[in-house]
Amino acid sequence: AQSVTQLDSQVPVFEEAPVELRCNYSSSVSVYLFWYVQYPNQGLQLLLKYLSGSTLVKGINGFEAEFNKSQTSFHLRKPSVHISDTAEYFCALKRTDTGRRALTFGSGTRLQVQP
């Protein structure tokens, strides 16, 4: 079985400050990793994904994440946040084999950017 743990349910931060949203995962098989963002009353939008290769992944809106296999982590970072980054962020994984197509999500981290 696979699971995703997002260690912080809420992260308050001031505008233009850096932010890190933490994600740890557990899996007995190899996985792909994803970060999605959800704005109020909207669906999920893909920020970035790790499939293979470089462990530092760059995504949209200035976000990046680093895959750390030894620590089973995939933390999301942004060097300078904007008010518009206020949203819910979800870390997710999917098996690399074709046995199961479903995404497994964490419970989310609410990023609150204050002026």
Partner 1 sequence: DTGVSQNPRHKITKRGQNVTFRCDPISEHNRLYWYRQTLGQGPEFLTYFQNEAQLEKSRLLSDRFSAERPKGSFSTLEIQRTEQGDSAMYLCASSTQNRGSGNTDTQYFGPGTRLTVL
Residues near partner 1 (CB under 8 A) are 4, 32, 34, 36, 41-46, 49, 51, 90, 92, 94-98, 100-108
For 83, residues 6+ apart whose C-beta sits below 8 A from its C-beta are 15, 113, 115
For residue 79, what are the CA distances in angstroms to 29, 31, 34, 84, 101? 32, 27, 19, 14, 33
CB of 38 to partner 1, least distance (A): 9
CB of 13 to partner 1, least distance (A): 20
Given the complex with partner 1, which of 36 and 63 has the nearer CB atom? 36
The least CB distance from residue 29 to partner 1, in Å, is: 11
- Residue recorded with tokens 């959800």: 38
